[in-house]
Amino acid sequence: MAIGVLALARATFDVPFAEEIAAKAFRILDQHGVETVGPRNLLFDAAAARAALETLKGQDLDRVLLLQVTFTDASMTVEIAQALSAPLAIWAFPEPRLGGRLRLNSFCGLNLAAHALGKIGRPHGWLYAKPEDVGSGLGELLAGMHMVNPGRARPAKPATDAAATRALAKLKGATVGLIGRHPDGFDTCAYDPAALKALTGSGVEQVELATLFDRARAATPDAIAGIRRTVAATVSGIDEVDQPQLDKSLSVFDALKGLSEANGFDALAVRCWPEMFTEYGCAACGPMGMMNDHGIPAACEADVYGAVSALMLQEAAGSSSWLVDIVDMDRESETGVLWHCGLAPLDMCDPATPPQAQIHSNRKMPLLRQFTLKPGRVTLARLSQAHGKTMLVVGAGTMTAAPMSFTGTSGVLTFDGGVERSLERLIGEGLEHHVAIAYGDHRPALRAIASALDLPILELTA
- Provide the pLDDT for residue 146: 81
pLDDT tens, residue by residue, 402-413: 999 999 999 999
- Provide the pLDDT for residue 152: 85
Nearest Cα neighbor of 254 from 281, 214, 197 is 214
pLDDT tens, residue by residue, 64-85: 999 999 999 999 999 999 999 9
Residues of the chain with pLDDT under 70: none
Nearest Cα neighbor of 233 from 61, 80, 355, 71 is 355
- Provide the pLDDT for residue 424: 92
Taking a C-beta distance cutoff of 8 angstroms, is the pair 316, 446 a contact?
A: yes
Burial of 287 (0-12, 13-18, 19+ CB in 10 A): buried
The pTM for the full model equals 0.96
Bridging pattern class, strands 88-92 and 35-37:
unpaired
User: How far apart are the C-alpha atoms of 298 and 318, rounded to whole Å?
Assistant: 17
Alpha-helical runs (H) found in 39-105? 46-56, 75-83
User: How far apart are the C-alpha atoms of 270 and 255, rounded to whole Å?
Assistant: 12
Those residues whose C-beta lies under 8 Å from the C-beta of residue 104, and which sit 6 or more positions away, are: 13, 14, 17, 18, 21, 69, 70, 71, 93, 95
Alpha-carbon Rg for the chain in angstroms: 21
User: How far apart are the C-alpha atoms of 78 and 314, rounded to whole Å?
Assistant: 34
Burial of 398 (0-12, 13-18, 19+ CB in 10 A): middle
Nearest Cα neighbor of 461 from 336, 347, 344 is 336
Domains recognised in the chain with CATH numbers: 2-142 (3.40.50.10940), 155-459 (3.20.14)
Nearest Cα neighbor of 449 from 312, 307, 321 is 312
User: How far apart are the C-alpha atoms of 407 and 351, rounded to whole Å?
Assistant: 17
User: How far apart are the C-alpha atoms of 364 and 296, rounded to whole Å?
Assistant: 26
DSSP string, 359-409: --TTT--S-EEEEEBPSEEEEEEEEE-GGG--EEEEEEEEEE-----SSSE
User: CA of 33: how far to CAs of 7, 29, 144, 157, 178, in Å?
Assistant: 18, 7, 17, 50, 50
- Provide the pLDDT for residue 151: 82
- Provide the pLDDT for residue 418: 94
Give 172's DSSP letter: T
pLDDT tens, residue by residue, 80-114: 999 999 999 999 999 999 999 999 999 999 999 99
- Provide the pLDDT for residue 141: 92
Those residues whose C-beta lies under 8 Å from the C-beta of residue 178, and which sit 6 or more positions away, are: 204, 205, 206, 207, 269, 302, 304
